[in-house]
Amino acid sequence: MRAWLVIALLAGCAEPVVPDEPADASAPPRDAGIVALDARTPEPDAAVEPEPSVRVVFPPSGATSAERITIRGTARNVEHVRVAGVDAQSDDGFATWHAEVPLALGAQTITVEAGHAHAEIELERAASDDDVARGDGPRNLRIFGLAMSDDARTAYVCDDIDDGVITIDVATGARVLATGGESGATIGYELVQPTAIALDPPRQRALLADDGALIGADLASREQRIVSPAHGDLAAIVHDGDRVIALDAEHDAIVAIDLATGARTTLTDETSGTGPSMRVAFRMDVDRTARRAYATLQYRNDVLEIDLATGARRVLSGSGAPMTEPVALAVAPDRGELFVWTSERTIVAVDLASGTRRALGGSGFTLERIQALVMREGVLWAYERGANALLAIDPETGDRVVLSRGDAQPY
C-alpha cells in the first residue's frame, strides 16, 4: 500500500459548515489546501552519479611480434583500472593510465575493466616480423605520403604503381583503391609520381603533390584533376582551409596555394623572411593554430621553425638524443612536441619550446624506412616503406603495432 503523508491546512473554521449548503462554482475546491507528498518520490535536486567510462588510446587493434606491450588510455569516474588482469598505473586518479601486459602467440582479446565500464582491443602476436600480416587489398609496393581522417579510422596513401589513392581501414587493415587504377582506367589526370597527400574534407577529396603540380582526387567520382599546374617540386603539402601550405624543395620555399584559383603565394624563401636558409629542406608539417611550419633539413641535422605570418625562420636547437639526417616529421601541438624519423632508424621527439630531444625506444615491428608520419588522436601513425606497412606508434613508449601490411617485399 502506498504511504501518503497528508497535511491538512485548516483555516477560518470558527463557524460550523452546513453539509448540504449548495456549492459555489466560483469558489476553490474544499481540498485546495491539502498537499499530498509521495514518500517514494526522490528529491527533484538529487545529484545523479556520473557513469564510469574507460577508453584505450594505444594500441588500436592490430598485429605485433612483441612479447609484451604497454596499453595506454583514459578513464572517468573510476577508482581502479585492470588490463588483462594487470593493475594499471596512474598518477592523476586514472584520468590517464597505463599497464604493461604479456602477449601470447596468436590472436587474443585484451579486456580493460574499470568498475562497470570496460573496453576491448584485438591483438595478434606473430612469432617474427616476417609472419606479421594484416588486411586484404592492393599490395602497396610504391607508396608515398600518408594522411589520416580526423577520427583516425581511415588512412590515405598515394600509390605510384596504380597512380591513385589507396584507403586503409584502420580497424581491419583492408585496402581499397579509391582513385586511379591500371593504365587506361584513370578518370581525368593520370599521375606521374605522387610524393605527398593531404585531405580536403569539405570537398570530399584528397590532394596530391605530383611532379610539381597539385592534384585533386575526388573520392566519390574517382576523378583526378589539376588544382595548380606544375611548378617547382612539392615535397610536402598540408590542407589549411581554402588553401594548401606546400614545401617547394626546388625553390627552397614554403608557398600557399589557393584551392579556388591555383595561384601560389610565397610565404618564405631565400629572399623573403629572415633566418637560416631552407636549402635541403626535405619534409614539412604545420601547426595551424600557432601558424608555424616545421621542416626537416636533411643534411644539416636540424629542424627549422617558420613563422607563416612573417616568414621568419629559426633552428630548433637543443640537447639530447642525436638527430642525424632527419626525414619525415609530424608536429603534435597538444603535446608540445614534434616527431622526426632519422637515418639512424630512430624516431626522435623534439620539445617545441626548448629543442630538447628524446629518442623513442619501444618494442614491436622493426623500423627500417619510415617515409611519412602523422599525429592524430594521441597516436603517431607511420607508413613503413621497407615493409609496406601502416603502423601505429605510441608517442610515449615507442611501442608499435601493424595495422595493415600490403606485401613483405619492398621495391
The strand ranges marked E within 1-148 are 4-8, 34-38, 53-58, 62-64, 68-76, 82-83, 86-87, 96-102, 106-114, 117-125, 143-148
Amino acid 302: pLDDT: 93
Tens of pLDDT along 314-343?
A: 999 889 999 999 999 999 999 999 999 999
Name the one residue in this structure whose C-alpha cell is 619510415: 370
Residue scoring higher pLDDT (165 or 186): 165
What average pLDDT does the chain have?
88
**Whose CA is closest to 95, among 113, 118, 78?**
78
Asked if omega into 50 is within 30° of 0 (cis), the reply is no
- Tell me the pairing of strands 243-248 and 234-240: antiparallel
**Could you tell me the pTM of the whole model?**
0.85
Domains defined along the chain, listed by start: 4-38 (no CATH), 53-125 (2.60.40.10)
Quick one: pLDDT band at residue 407, thresholds 50, 70, 90? low
Amino acid 182: pLDDT: 61
Give the whole-angstrom CA distance, residue 398 versus residue 2: 63
Residue 269 has pLDDT above 90, yes or no: yes
For residue 250, count other CB atoms closer than 10 A to its CB. Answer: 11
Report in angstroms the alpha-carbon separations of 151 from 67, 161, 171, 201, 400: 29, 28, 12, 12, 19
Tens of pLDDT along 46-92?
A: 667 789 999 999 999 999 999 999 999 999 999 999 999 999 999 99
Residue 155 has pLDDT above 80, yes or no: yes
For residue 299, count other CB atoms closer than 10 A to its CB. Answer: 12
